[in-house]
Structure 1
Amino acid sequence: MQPTDDLFARLKRSTFRSRFHLGPKERQYCLDKGPETIDSHAADFIAKRLAPAEPKNDGKQTPMRGHPVFIAQHATATCCRGCLAKWHAIPAGVALNAQQQAYVVAVIHRWLVAEMNPPR
C-alpha cells in the first residue's frame, strides 16, 4: 500500500479536503521538530485514535487544529474510519493492521512534505 498520485488528485478536487493548509505556527512546528518526530506523532495518533475497530468518538476524534498531523488528517481523509473507508478503501469495523497504519502515516507524511515545499 502506497499513497498514489490518483489519491492526491482526487483529494485536490474535493472542495472540503483542498481547503486545509498549514498555517505559520504549524509550519514552524514542523521545522522545529523535523520529519522523524512528526511521523512519530502521526504514528502515535493513528495507533490510538484511528486503528481500533471502533475508535472512541469515531467521526469526531480528530481535532481540526492544534497539530500539523490533525490538519493533514483532514486534508487526506485519514481523520476517521468513515473517511478511510470512503477515500482509501480501508473498511471500518476492523482494527487497522501495521501495514494499514504505516500507509496512513505515509499519506500524512506525503501531504505534509507537499505543504512544506510548495511549488514555485
Structure 2
Amino acid sequence: MAEQEERRTGAAPSKRDERVAARPAMPASPDALFERLARSAFRRRFRLNARDQQYLRSRGLDAVLAHAAEFVARRLAPAVPHNDGKQTPMRGHPVFVAQHATATCCRGCLAKWHGIEVGRGLSSAEQAYVVGVIGQWLRRQERTRDGGQAPRQGRLF
C-alpha cells in the first residue's frame, strides 16, 4: 500500500493514511465500534433532544429506519456524494443526529471509522450495515431514555 501510494503521488503516505488503510472494512463487533465512538469527545456528545425523541416515539423505529435507508441511499451511497462532508445536517431528524454520533455522516467518516473506502458507490450490504449502525444507536438512545444506562451527573455538593 505505502509503495503504491508513493509511486502514484511521488510522496510517502502519511501515518493517518496507513492507519485508515489498515482498518478492516465494516467492524465485526458492534460493541467494539461503540466503544471506539464513546472515546471521541465529538461523537459522544450527540443525544436525541425531546423533539427527536417524540418523533421517534410517534413514527416508530421501523419508519425512522426506513428514512435512514432513504437518506443513506441518496446522500452516502454514490461514489462521489453531492456536498460530501456537508450533506448531513446536525439536527432536524433523529437519523441526522444518529449519523453524526455513529460517524456515518459522510464518506470521510465512513472511511475513518468504518473502513469503507471513498471513491466508489456503497454496496447494498454496506448500506444495510450503515442503517444497522444507526438503528443500534437509536435503540441505545431509547434504552437510555427509558431508564437504562444514562450517564449520571456527579454530586455537586
TM-score range, shorter chain: over 0.9
2:35 — aligned with what? 9
TM (norm. structure 2) is 0.74
Bigger Rg over Cα: 2
Distance 1:3 1:105, change over 3 A: farther
SS of equivalent to 1:117: helix
Higher relative contact order structure (alpha carbons within 8 Å, sequence separation ≥ 6): 1
Q: CA-to-partner distance for each residue in 1:71-112, whole Å, 9 max, x for gaps?
A: 000000000000000000000101001000000000000000
TM-score normalised by the chain length of structure 1: 0.97
Gaps of 5+ in 2: 1-25, 150-157
Aligned counterpart for 1:31 among listed residues 53, 57, 79: 57
Kindly provide the amino acid, as one letter, of the partner of residue 75 in structure 2. Answer: R
Question: 1:6 deviation in Å?
Answer: 0.4
Runs of at least 4 residues off by over 2 Å: none
**CA drift at 1:117:** 1.0
Query: Would the aligned equivalents of 1:3 and 1:106 in 2 still touch at CA under 8 Å?
Result: no
Structure 1: any 5+ residue segments left out of the alignment? Answer: none
> How many residues end up aligned between the 2 structures?
120
Alignment of 1:52-91 (within 5 A): 52-91=78-117
CA–CA distance in 2 between the matches of 1:23 and 1:117?
14
Identical counterparts, % of pairs:
58
Task: Kindly report the root-mean-square deviation, in angstroms, between the aligned alpha carbons of the 2 structures.
Answer: 1.0
